[in-house]
Amino acid sequence: MVTPLALAEVLAPHGAEDANSIHDLRRLSGGANMETWAFDLVQDGVAEPLILRRSPLVPGESGTAVSALPLSAEAALLPLVAEQGVPVPTVLCALSESDTLGPGYIMSRERGEALPGRILADDRYTAARRHLARQCGETLARLHRVNPEQLPREVPNQTLAERLDGHQRSLDRFGNASLVHQLALNWLRQHAPSPQRHCLLHGDFRNGNLLVDEQGLVAVLDWELAHCGDPAEDLGYLCGNVWRFGYSDKPVGGFGDYDELLAGYREVAGWAPDMDTIHYWEVFCALGWGLVCLTMVDLYRSGADPTLERAAVGRRVSESEMDLLLLLEDRL
């Protein structure tokens, strides 16, 4: 259970004296797999805004966490990407299984907005939207420079063929739930590109995991799906229709165009993938989102996690099918 006393215990090496050092503790909304808590650590009258990122699966609590990367590996990953110029929160301390709070880590709380609806519609972010696609391209190029040999051993490193095999197993488990998803998977097998590079990927780089202020990108959040693969995947994933939040005329996150994204990437990396490769990973993204929706349906129906959030995501299976049909319309 997250309490001021529990936080004070783990933050004692960082100046927390007792529960009175922890102010304004509150759980933030969002985060389908991980809990996020905001609070202030107050020392000598000065408040340090912090975030606790934590797995909900601790003794005595219920929940279903779906994460490819342990939180300890996330905590180790952030300093590595920061060294390459990727804007991320600063990790203060990592928590272990034996800690009262369970596995997780505490990091700085950066100022900015992460809600896509506000980023895309609020006049406050008009200037930021003009530069955000290019900033995303530059940031991804910096991320992709991280030396894979330095990564935590838990970071997944599957080939594309292995990942497609995993998608097939998921579809088989759901039965004949969606012929459209099977069609898309077959297409992905037949048109797999030859990767030009193999590097660290964020894995969920999208509007909703980007912290933005009036000037643009402040920080990249939620690294639980980080893995190694083709750098074009991160770029194509950002362009998935599901992450445009209704602003489909702006393919990059609902705020920018392909040319801006790729120009930013090319400026830092010295190269950029072609549009056919970006399209391939958009299809991959749409299929992956469809499988997430089917998984949520299964969790809800089985009673393993009968929460409203699982049901709400699960009912969006048809959206992914429509996205796939539109993406493949002229390519079958």
Task: For the beta carbon of residue 187, count every other beta carbon within 10 angstroms.
Answer: 18
Give me the residue label for tokens 């797995």. Answer: 55
Cβ 79 vs Cβ 89: under 8 Å: no
Regarding whether 170 and 40 lie in a shared domain, the answer is: no
CATH number assigned to the domain comprising residue 74: 3.30.200.20
- Is residue 224 within 8 Å of 201, Cβ to Cβ? no
Q: Return the pLDDT at 61.
A: 39
Mutual angle of helices 275-302 and 317-328, in 10-degree steps: 160
Three-state DSSP state, 217? strand
Q: Which of 15, 8, 213 is nearest to 129 (CA)?
A: 213
pTM: 0.92
Buried b (16+ CB within 10 A) or exposed e, 2-22: bebebbbebbeeeebeeeebb
Number of domains in the chain: 2
Domain that holds residue 275: 116-328
Pairing outcome for strands 35-43 and 22-27 = antiparallel
Amino acid 203: pLDDT: 97
8 A C-beta contact, residue 132 and residue 260: no
Together in a domain, 43 and 180: no
- What letter represents residue 83's amino acid? E
108, 124, 139 — which closes off a domain?
108
The answer to whether residues 72 and 220 belong to one domain is no
197 and 265 belong to one structural domain? yes
Residue 251 is given by DSSP the state: T
Q: Tokens representing 178?
A: 């969606």
Say whether both 136 and 61 belong to one domain.
no
Which helix (H) or strand (E) covers residue 117, if one does? Answer: helix 116-121
Please indicate, yes or no, whether residues 71 and 135 belong to a single structural domain of this protein. no
**pLDDT the model gives residue 30:** 65
Looking at residue 31, its pLDDT comes to 60
d(C-alpha 57, C-alpha 55), whole Å? 5
Among 75, 108, 141, residue at a domain's last position: 108
Joined together, the tokens standing for residue 54 give 């934590």
Q: What is the pLDDT of residue 228?
A: 97
pLDDT for the residue 63: 38
Q: Domain containing 157 — which CATH number? A: 3.90.1200.10
Co-location of 240 and 303 in the same domain = yes
- pLDDT, block means (10 residues), the chain with 332 residues: 91 84 90 83 93 70 53 96 98 88 94 97 98 99 96 95 95 85 97 92 98 98 96 98 97 98 99 98 97 87 80 87 96 84
Stretch (H or E) spanning 7 = helix 4-10
Asked if 217 contacts 211 with a C-beta cutoff of 8 angstroms, the reply is yes
Report pLDDT for 60. Answer: 36
Indicate whether 121 and 104 sit together in one domain.
Answer: no
Helices 160-174 + 179-190 axis angle, to 10: 160
Listed residues 80, 108, 136: the one ending a domain = 108
Residues 65 and 148 in one domain: no
* Tokens encoding 213: 């202020």
